[in-house]
Amino acid sequence: MPKLALIPPHDHHRHHRQLLLIFLLISATTAAPASATTNYQVFREAPQFYNSPTCPSIHTNGMCCDQAVHVAMTLDTAYLRGSMAAILSILQHSSCPQNILFHFIASATANHQHFRYTISRAFPALVFQIYPYDSKAVSGLISTSIRSALDCPLNYARNYLPNLLPRCLRRVVYLDSDLVLVDDMAKLAATPLGDSSVLAAPEYCNANFTSYFTPTFWSNPTLSLTFSGRKACYFNTGVMVIDLQRWRAGDYTTKIVEWMELQKRMRIYELGSLPPFLLVFAGNIAPVDHRWNQHGLGGDNYR
């Protein structure tokens, strides 16, 4: 999916300096530490980021503090450099960086020791947890899409996020691993969800919504009524604020999986993990201001 950059309307020269700093700080080498027997990606240690005097004190025991800002991302060896850039940019632009807790989802078969070593070495004070994601269940539900990169099982981890994270968590900001954030994460995390919305995301109602589903879907008299009574718009799942308790109460993971099972029987969409989200949530989400998502910036538009 297109790479994302979360950019507020600040001075462009300041923005360029910030991106340059990010580039300089996370320049990677492939040299292994002397004591390691495996070649790990090694990143330079980032500076320590401290809370401003007005930040509330939090207790990070158990990763469940309601006063903290909780960020969820996936970890993958191929995208690790992007993840490190995202982490740095989040800390760098936060007024309360020590109040941000990171929840990383990684394949159960991935080298979690590698991830822990790499992250801890670059960000020694970072509070984070890595959760194993067993992709076996979803692997049988993935249909080939127009881009092979979208078929990676880890792309579907967001479907199971409320089941993977501690049940004590109430709200989390889910971010794709290919973004750079240049404003305070706490502002995004505070996006209002209203009385009933399960999630908030950037909506694009000028997009051709019908193109996300096949003629088979629209010609079926039952399926075509899916969005009846809903002002359904395309939204980007790479930037989402999620109420985990509402998700669990509504069993939305099951609803998403049911659409994926139907897709295996009759092809109703073409584009990876996004359409099931649209089928379940489109028209019923809270909006995220578009300034939080520079849609399509850096995207590969070859196909």
> Can you give the CATH number for the domain in which 207 is found?
3.90.550.10
Q: What digits encode the pLDDT tens for the residues 92-122? A: 999 999 999 999 999 999 999 999 999 999 9
Q: What digits encode the pLDDT tens for the residues 218-228? A: 999 999 999 99
In a domain, 113, yes or no: yes
Distances (CA, A) of 137 to 44, 167, 244, 260, 269: 37, 21, 21, 12, 20
Q: Provide the residue type at 3 as one letter.
A: K
With 0-12 CB in 10 A as exposed, 13-18 as middle and 19+ as buried, what is 98? Answer: buried
In a domain, 57, yes or no: no
194 HSE (CA, 13 A, CB side): 10
In a domain, 179, yes or no: yes
Domain that holds residue 165: 69-294
Q: What is the pLDDT of residue 6?
A: 53
In a domain, 19, yes or no: no
The CA distance from 168 to 216, in Å, is: 41
Residues of the chain with pLDDT under 50: 1-5, 7-37, 303
Q: What is the pLDDT of residue 62?
A: 72
**Residue of 85, 270, 262 whose CA lies nearest to 181:** 85
Q: What is the pLDDT of residue 21?
A: 43
The residues, ordered by sequence, that sit 6+ positions from 141 with a Cβ below 8 Å of its Cβ are 156, 257, 260, 261, 263, 264
In a domain, 39, yes or no: no
In a domain, 10, yes or no: no
Residue 180: φ, ψ to 5°: -130, 130
Residue 28: φ, ψ to 5°: -105, 155
What is the number of domains present in the chain? 1
In a domain, 11, yes or no: no
* pTM across the whole model: 0.84
In a domain, 47, yes or no: no
